[in-house]
Amino acid sequence: MKLDKIMSCLPHFCRGIVVKGFGRGSKQLGIPTANFSESVVDNLPKDLPTGIYYGWAQVNTGEVHKMVLSVGWNPFYKNEKKSMETHIIHAFDGDFYGSLLSLIMVGYIRGEENFTSLDALIVAINNDIATAKTELDHKDQSKYKNHLFFTEHENSSETISDLKSVQVNLNNNTANSNL
């Protein structure tokens, strides 16, 4: 898929409750991930291809951190359902199932691919993390760290239970006006 078509879907904003995933991120890969429910995944833009993305993430009303995100079928594991698995580039003290995860996808790293071994998958993920760290340091990407999207829900009267399957879609014009 052409990069300009992918980039026309970005930035993409979404918010939802962290649910239990397949249990592979921390256990098999040593790379913990936060997973969205199927309802959030189902509300992704139809033109957004599967692959690896980077951007910014916030748990509840905490700090905003860099993140890398896999959107797709995870062919190495032969998933039957499309998923969104977010690795927040920060060391947390514990898990945060049931917490509100807000994220802004701002860039694309690569398409989804299969791997010949678990070690090859881990190397690719670590390369994706390194790419995300570098790309997010650029001014055109780092500006999203302070986007109103991360603070607007802090002043809301909504509770986490009100947001069980919230999907926030903002078009580029709205997104850019809030910077």
Residue positions annotated with a catalytic role? 85
Provide the 3-class DSSP secondary structure of residue 146.
Answer: helix
CA-CA distance, 130 to 59, in Å (whole number)?
A: 21
**Burial letters 163-175, b for 16+ CB under 10 A, else e:** beebbbebeeeeb
CA pseudo-torsion sign 36, 37, 38, 39: negative
CA-CA distance, 32 to 176, in Å (whole number)?
A: 31
